[in-house]
Chains A and B, each alone.
Chain A
Amino acid sequence: MKAENRRPVRKKTEGGPSFPTQRLQALLDELISDNYDHQKCITNLKEHTECHDFLFYTLKSLSIIVKKHNKESVTEVYMNNLMLVLEQMNIPDATDSLIVCTKLFREEKDKDGKKITSNSKLNLSYPKAKRAINTIWNEVISYPLTGSLYRRCLILIPEKVMHHLEKPIRLTGFFMDAYDLGGALSLLALQGVFILVNKYNLDYPNFYQKLYGLLEPTIFHAKYRPRFFMLMDRFLSSTHVPEYVIAAFIKRMSRLSLSAPASCLILILKFIANLLIRYPGLQLLIHNPDATNLEDDPFDPDEPDMSKCRACESSLWEVATLQQHVVPSISKATGFLEKTLPIMEYDISELVEATYEEVHEKSCKLIVHETVATTFHKPTGLFTHHDDKMSDDWCVL
């Protein structure tokens, strides 16, 4: 397999300016097989995709392969292989593609010891490549995708592919389908939608509503937590978002903090503080001398509509509760309730990946002084000491 893998390089050097398209097509056909997982070999392709001529011809032949392939007989292995190949390719931008292409190609030649100046004969054009990409991806999103493939697509498309497509708006349907699947997928889908809204003028009124719906207790245990918070920070940084939406988000987050793990609490608190700094009008949530004689918290956590959940009339009692949190660093992070908010926002990029282990390690770093405080009631047993609450229900044996 490896030998087969080397072949394009060899062929290329022999063939000179004319690229061995036939051989490459055969190779790719073999790699993207229906029933065998070629993961190792495909990852080896990566070093070759750095040469743009190889990349160009790969794209071309891929588009042919994808077109030829029967839609009904798509297997998971096939999709995996295809996706892997696609992930290997780092398509350069349109502006500098030609120049860089030729240059790289020549260097490749130099390396092989044959100094043939053949720039003029190359016909690597970006429009052609773009066309190839479009055909490939149009096919890909029309396939039925599994969960993990969906996830890979959703990561790959907004980051690498989207700006090469002719009509990105076409992806909206794809993203919406992904959102409806729930969980981490909906979050990743939202990222794509956000880019569409932001750059391609997509009018999508329910965007924040959907984001609000994603805020569930499980989000703190999800694998994509850091990405989610970074994205949410970006989504909410818009100046055109109405205040009631932000208020609802703040209140929802603070409500979630009552059941969030200790590792996320600092992040949540700093996030809330950042939002309050961004929207000074919302500081009513932490300082509202007019609202007295309340019966209960006016905020309705079960209401999915942000305009009806009455978050603006509420107050951040949850943060006040967290002032009593056991971990000292968390209870200190609630300081913005009493002190004036800073002018600069907090940097949350380091906090998004905090784990329980880090919290524990940090607390272990406390220095033991000579005068460590100890208890002052002599115990007589494990469950029989001064302020024991467990002896009613627990015994040693």
Chain B
Amino acid sequence: MAKRSKFKPKTGGKAHNRAAEKINPFEIHVNRSKHDVLGRKRKEDRGLPGIARAKALKKREKTLLQEYKTRHKSNLFVDRRIGENDPTLDPEKKIALRLAAVKTKHANRKSMFNLNDDDFLTHGGKTLDDDNIDDRMAFSDDEDDQVLDAQFVKERHFAGGFLTKRETGDEEKPKSKKEWIDEIIAESKKKKAEAKKDKEEQYEAVSKLDANLNTFLMMMSGKTIKDEDKLEAKKNCEFRDYDTLVKELGFDRTGKAKTSSKLKTPEELIKEEKEKLLALEADRVRRMKGEPEPSKHTSRSADDLDDGLIFTEDDRFHLSYKDGAMLEEEKGNDDNDPENDNKSMDEEGAEDEETENEDEGVDSDLEDGDDLEDDESDKYSDIFDEESGDEDNDNENDTQETEKTKDHSVAGDKRKEIMEAARKEIPYTFEVPQEYDAFWALLENRSPKEVSVILERTIACNHPSLGAQNKDKFEDLCTYILQTLNVLTEESGDSPVRGVPPMSYVDVLIPHLYTVTQACSSGVANSFRQFVFLKVAGVLFPSSDYIHPVMTPVITFLSQLLGQAKVNTKRDITAALFTSYLLYEYLSMSKRFVPELPNALNGLLSLSIEAKKKVKLPINPPFKRFGAASSLLLLENNIEEETLPKLSLASLNDKGKEITDNFKVNVLSKTVKLLHCLCDCWSKLPSVKALMEPTAKILEAICLDHYPSSLKEMITGLKSAIDCLPGPKQALVKEAKKPKSLKMYEPAIERVIEGMKKSVGTKDFQEKQKLLQKLKRERKGAKREIQRDTAFLARQQLMETLQSDAERKRKVNQIMAGLQSQESDHKKLKLKKF
């Protein structure tokens, strides 16, 4: 076949090697080269045509001839017995090999349905082994196959069987096959018996328990469980173990993520919290600049703190501790247990409910008794936190945590008393009412604290993580809360309890509104477009974003208020000041610019100037230089040093109060203070000096004779601050553009190698040429092979014909010879007769 034989001797036998060395020189055929190149080795300068031909012939005899011979046969017999064709194997080895083959075949059939041999099915973070499923009742007997221990099967059946045994333990005499199989059978029978015994024992125990439960239920049917019973049950230690066990189990179910986070030290937790806040802050800064989101990563919101908690089926979602107190996680988890149990039961369908209630009723009741203490204390600690939070405002999450623990220890006793009173009144689960009136009825006659508790429980019971339909409920709830806010803050707003000012409820509502917003931001955002609660909006949504569906309208509305609302009464002044403060708060983070704000503040300043002096002052609409309300805040009497009270939101609702001197001073000082803040806030703007010039002029015109000295100081401070503002240092320059580079073509680099044929064309073309050439060569070779095959077959056929001819000739001769001898005999006989 191969024309050129290889000169390298094969590494196989020595005889062959020697034969190759002793090549007959007459068999070598030398190809003459036309141009001899020195130092170049050519592969094809010599060949061994005789040997090559013989090789090819041999190969054809092995393949083509065989086929030729069996050309008329439709089937053929192949001996595939293991080791049958190999004469070197001894019979025992042969048997072992065959046995191994059989076992693997079986194993394959079984493992066909095993998806993953290494991985086990898991549930709740634990493997589903027989060890873990203790309570599984396998009463049926048709699972006998599985009685054999997996380990046993693995050892005995597959792991090499006695072959491996023999290799490892050399001294022992190998067991025969029969012994081996006997052993296997005995082992499996033993295991089977053991399993059966276990099963029976388990069954007995369960049926006993069932019977006990029935009698117990009969016994308890007439009784209702009271609080005293619960307390007693709590003291009774018998169930403590069971309770803790249940808790542990429940805790285990939440998965590994929680346990790992629980192991962290408080410092680590604080650090983590800080990192989270940092990341959120970075995101906020990005939104402030109006940059697009950096990646396709879609964060649910800026406040998606809860690690995908919403998406897991975690029933123990608790709200009040969302960020801070991981340490109290366990407690918090338990708090909501009774409610959640009820909730989950509701969802499981009506049929199961009855029976399950019977089963679990006892347990959960006992649990309740246990948990009541923690439950109450936690809920109320929240309220206490709120109160303390009111006092010191910058209550960061980090500090909150420590405070909470303090609260627990210090105020514990007092709280219990309050708890006792309140617990009797407020139920634990609340449905979100269908109508606003029903919602209002819920809150009626409740103190602010109680309202807070009610709202918290409502939120906990109807959290969207407990079911998809709760999302709609949350949106409803949000509208209710906003509506309540609306009612509370109206001029004639009525309070749930008589005598308590309606405004005192506002603070209580805000945190809950926040929680609702966290859970379904888009719903709340939608309802915020309908009634713009200007301040609340800023609490719930980031004001610094470049563009935001809630905050942008709010800010434009605020600026419109400042730009157009006329100031004629005391209420107007307070409202204008409030709006200015609010706008400043929203701007302070992003340091953005609103012309209306300094305008309005200048106008407020100008209210305390005489009309005569105002002719040349830069006062812009809606404030007027002259008119009845143009000098509302002009001070006419001397004012002593006084403490200036905080302005109140509630005062926006009472109309037509007398403008006292104290109020005048208060407004002026607040305005000056805010202007000072604005100065600082906008100090980076290029034309801040021009912006503040009118303010400086107005300040000059204010007659300071009557004012207390502290206010005078404030005003001079503001003046100096305006004087110190930097003017523009440099004219505007456009950013230099990058020079545009000339269009370049790809450099044409050719590989030039001496002595080689220069190939023309692109790389693809060359590749194609190469392949075409190869194809041509291959085709040629194949053609030649086919010719040789035909020649071989023809020769074979000729040989067969010759052979059969010769045979025939021989037979004819034989017959003829026979006939001749017969004839001669006959003739001889005839001659004898005659």
Contacts and interface: CB of A to CB of B under 8 A. Distances in A.
Are A and B subunits of one complex? Answer: yes
User: Which of B284, B322, B396, B525 has its CB near the most chain A CB atoms (within 10 A)?
Assistant: B525
Interface string A324-336: 1111100100000
A324 B591 contact: yes
A123 interface: no
A324 B594 CA distance: 8
Given A317-B690, A389-B581, A394-B647, A286 B393 contact: no
A318 B691 CA distance: 9
A293 interface: yes
A262 interface: yes
B560 A291 contact: no
Interface stretch (A62-70, A95-103, A241-249, A377-385): A377-385
A125 interface: no
Interface stretch (A167-175, A197-205, A252-260): A252-260
Interface in A328-369: 328, 331, 337-338, 356-357, 359-360, 363-364, 366-369
Contacts of B302: 373-376
A288 B529 contact: no
A374 B552 contact: no
Given A262-B559, A317-B687, A368 B526 contact: yes
SS class, residues of chain A in contact with chain B: loop
Given A321-B687, A381-B507, A221 B731 contact: no
B611 interface: no
Interface stretch (B225-233, B536-544, B780-788, B820-828): B536-544
A382 B648 contact: no
B646 interface: yes
Given A292-B730, A363-B556, A389-B677, A380 B389 contact: yes
B559 A381 contact: no
A30 to B, nearest CB: 42
B728 A296 contact: yes
A266 B762 CA distance: 59
B648 A368 contact: no
B728 A381 contact: no
A161 interface: no
Nearest to B561: A356
Interface string B557-571: 101100110000000
Contact of B541 (A292, A370, A375): A375
B646 A363 contact: no
Interface in B470-520: 501, 503-504, 506-508, 510-511, 514-515, 517-518
B296 interface: no
A343 to B, nearest CB: 17
A326 B323 contact: no
Interface in B544-586: 545-550, 552-553, 555-557, 559-560, 563-564, 578, 581-582, 584-585
Contact of A296 (B301, B542, B598, B727): B727
Nearest to B545: A373
A323 to B, nearest CB: 8
A371 B299 CA distance: 7
Contacts of B323: 378
A382 B506 contact: yes
A72 interface: no
A345 B189 CA distance: 98
A262 B555 CA distance: 11
A360 B621 contact: no
A327 B558 CA distance: 12
SS class, residues of chain B in contact with chain A: helix
A366 B529 CA distance: 10
Interface stretch (B13-21, B70-78, B732-740): B732-740
A387 interface: yes
A215 B654 CA distance: 40
A173 B536 CA distance: 59
Interface in B682-733: 685-691, 694, 727-733
B595 A260 contact: yes
B390 interface: yes
Contacts of B144: none
Contact of B731 (A315, A368, A374, A384): A315
B593 A373 contact: no
B734 A373 contact: no
A289 interface: yes
B393 A288 contact: no
Interface residues of A, number: 79
A295 interface: yes
B535 to A, nearest CB: 6
B298 interface: yes
A385 B517 CA distance: 15
B645 to A, nearest CB: 9
A389 B585 contact: yes
B277 interface: yes
B606 to A, nearest CB: 13
Contact of A322 (B593, B647, B673): B593
A261 B557 CA distance: 12
A391 interface: yes
A272 to B, nearest CB: 13
Contacts of A370: 300, 522
Given A326-B556, A328-B546, A388 B393 contact: yes
A89 interface: no
A364 to B, nearest CB: 5
A382 B690 contact: no
Contact of B593 (A296, A321, A380, A396): A321
A396 B541 contact: no
B646 A395 contact: yes
A375 B729 contact: no
Contacts of A369: 522, 549
A218 B508 CA distance: 44
A92 interface: no
A1 interface: no
Contacts of B548: 366, 372-373
Contacts of A389: 581, 584-585, 588, 677
User: Which of A296, A301, A385 has its CB near the most chain B CB atoms (within 10 A)?
Assistant: A385
B587 A394 contact: no
23 contacts: A217-B621, A221-B621, A261-B564, A286-B734, A316-B732, A318-B690, A320-B685, A320-B687, A321-B685, A321-B691, A363-B552, A366-B548, A369-B549, A372-B541, A375-B539, A380-B395, A382-B539, A382-B649, A385-B539, A387-B589, A391-B393, A393-B646, A397-B650
Given A259-B620, A261-B563, A380-B390, 20 more contacts: A255-B690, A261-B596, A297-B727, A317-B690, A321-B687, A325-B595, A326-B594, A364-B529, A364-B553, A371-B521, A372-B301, A375-B302, A379-B511, A380-B507, A381-B390, A390-B582, A390-B585, A394-B648, A397-B504, A397-B650
Interface of B: 277, 280, 284, 287, 290, 298-303, 305, 322-323, 385-386, 389-390, 393, 395-397, 501, 503-504, 506-508, 510-511, 514-515, 517-518, 521-522, 525-526, 529, 535-536, 539-542, 545-550, 552-553, 555-557, 559-560, 563-564, 578, 581-582, 584-585, 587-589, 591-596, 598-599, 618, 620-622, 646-650, 670, 673, 677, 685-691, 694, 727-735
Interface of A: 217-218, 221, 255, 257-262, 265, 285-297, 301, 314-318, 320-322, 324-328, 331, 337-338, 356-357, 359-360, 363-364, 366-397
Closest 5 CB pairs of A and B: A380-B389, A381-B507, A296-B727, A291-B731, A288-B731
